[in-house]
């Protein structure tokens, strides 16, 4: 079992609220990722980081922002939540050995519902 | 266009039976293929990873095969258990960047009945 944690696990919030989804890992992994997943659909990469002070946008356009001030911590923030943000958000991390051996370890996810 | 297609979309089998899940991909250049298991409400967990030169890899009752020529992979589950009920996701990585871009299938939802 990977040591990667996400909080909260479930969040129901009203439109316009600011939210931060927390993700932390204790494995010392350099790379961290945020994915968005709707029921029955594939995971979409929304943000990733190679290390401290490194953040990049993923393939799926997202209104969220991320920060990487510490190796173990990769929070995702939505400044103003909307119903279209309702989804499951998965955080992952991996060791930067290279793509052929780069297995990602996933957290349990945060199920976000915006009313 | 790089894509990963999985079939069937869903599958119901009885406990103790075997099953095979399929994955077809068009990702190029190919680096590796992974199968993940995702329990409901949880994050995916890696089952197997295969590179271009590997044809088969086992992890307990799970056996994955890869045919890099036809760009097909399968995941065979032997003697299924109730705990095998989950979504099984095929993930293909390319060699086009240092990130090792991942392409995810939509998964096969497996339900094992007692």
**Backbone phi and psi for residue B28, each to the nearest 5 degrees, phi listed first:** -150, 140
Is the pLDDT assigned to residue B32 strictly greater than 60?
yes
Q: B69 vs B1, B40, B72, CA distance in Å?
A: 18, 33, 8
d(CA B79, CA B63): 12
pLDDT 10s digits, A87-98: 999 999 987 665
Residues of B in contact with A90 (CB under 8 A): 43-44
Q: What is the pLDDT of residues B49-98, one digit of tens each?
A: 898 888 999 999 999 999 999 999 999 999 999 999 999 999 998 875 55
- Cα B55 from chain centre: 14
Distance CA A113, CA B29 (A): 38
- Chain B residues within 8 A of A42 when measuring between CB atoms: 4, 89, 104-107
Length of chain B in terms of residues written: 114
Bridge partners of residue A46, in order along the sequence? none
The model's confidence at residue A101, banded by pLDDT at 50, 70 and 90, is low
Q: Which chain B residues are within 8 Å of A43, Cβ to Cβ?
A: 44, 89, 104
Among A41, A42, A90, select the one facing B43 at the smallest CB separation: A90
Higher-scoring residue by pLDDT: B67, A62: B67
Q: Is B46 on the interface with A (CB under 8 A)?
A: yes
CB-based contact B105 A100, cutoff 8 Å = no
What's the pLDDT tens digit per position in B36-52? 999 988 899 999 989 88
């Amino acid at each position: 079992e990977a040591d990667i944690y996400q909080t909260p696990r479930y969040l129901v919030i009203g439109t316009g609220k600011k939210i931060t989804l927390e993700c932390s890992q204790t494995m010392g992994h350099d790379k961290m990722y945020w994915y968005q997943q709707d029921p029955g659909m594939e995971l979409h990469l929304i943000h990733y980081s190679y290390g401290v002070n490194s953040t990049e946008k993923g393939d799926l356009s997202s209104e969220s922002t991320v920060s990487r001030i510490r190796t173990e911590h990769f929070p995702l923030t939505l400044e103003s939540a909307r119903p279209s943000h309702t989804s499951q958000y998965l955080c992952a991390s991996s060791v930067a050995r290279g793509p052929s051996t780069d297995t990602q370890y996933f957290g349990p996810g945060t199920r976000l519902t915006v009313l | 266009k790089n894509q990963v297609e999985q079939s069937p979309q869903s599958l119901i089998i009885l406990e103790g039976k075997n099953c095979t899940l399929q994955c077809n991909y068009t990702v190029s250049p190919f680096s590796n293929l992974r199968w993940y298991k995702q329990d409901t409400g949880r994050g995916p967990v890696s089952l197997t990873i295969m590179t271009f030169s590997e044809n088969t890899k086992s992890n307990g009752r799970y056996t994955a095969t890869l045919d890099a020529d036809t760009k097909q992979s399968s995941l065979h589950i032997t003697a299924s258990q109730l705990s095998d009920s989950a979504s099984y996701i095929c993930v293909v990585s390319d060699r086009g960047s240092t990130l090792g871009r991942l392409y995810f299938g939509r998964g096969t939802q497996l339900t094992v009945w007692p």
